Amino acid sequence: MTPQKLKPIAVAGASGRMGHTLIEAIWAADDCHLAGALDMTGSAALGLDAGAFSGRVTGTTVTDSLHVGLQGASCLIDFTRPEGSLAHLKVCRELGVQAVIGTTGFTDAQKSEIRDIAQDIAIVMAPNMSVGVNVTLKLLQMAAQALSTGYDIEIIEAHHRHKVDAPSGTALKMGEVMAQAMGRDLKQCAVYERYGHTGEREASSIGFSTIRGGDIVGDHTVLFAGIGERIEVTHKSSSRATYAQGSLRAVRFLAAQKNGLFDMFDVLNLR
Q: Mind telling me the catalytic residues? A: 159, 163
Q: Would you list the DSSP string of 48-80?
A: SBTTGGGT---S-BEES-HHHHHTT-SEEEE-S
Does residue 167 have a cis bond before it (omega within 30 degrees)?
yes
Taking CA 173 as the corner, what is the angle to CA 168 and CA 176, rounded to the nearest 5 degrees?
130
- Residue 131 to residue 137: CA distance in whole angstroms: 10
Local structure of 153: helix, strand or coil: strand
**Phi, psi values for residue 189, rounded to 5°:** -110, -5
Lay out the sheet containing 218-225: strands in order across.
190-191, 206-212, 152-159, 218-225, 230-237
Q: Please say whether the beta carbons of 186 and 242 come within 8 A.
A: no
Residues 6+ apart with CB under 8 A from 97: 10, 70, 73, 74, 75, 76, 91, 121
Local structure of 238: helix, strand or coil: coil
Local structure of 252: helix, strand or coil: helix
Whether the CA torsion 256, 180, 127, 159 is positive or negative: it is negative
- Residue 61 to residue 65: CA distance in whole angstroms: 11
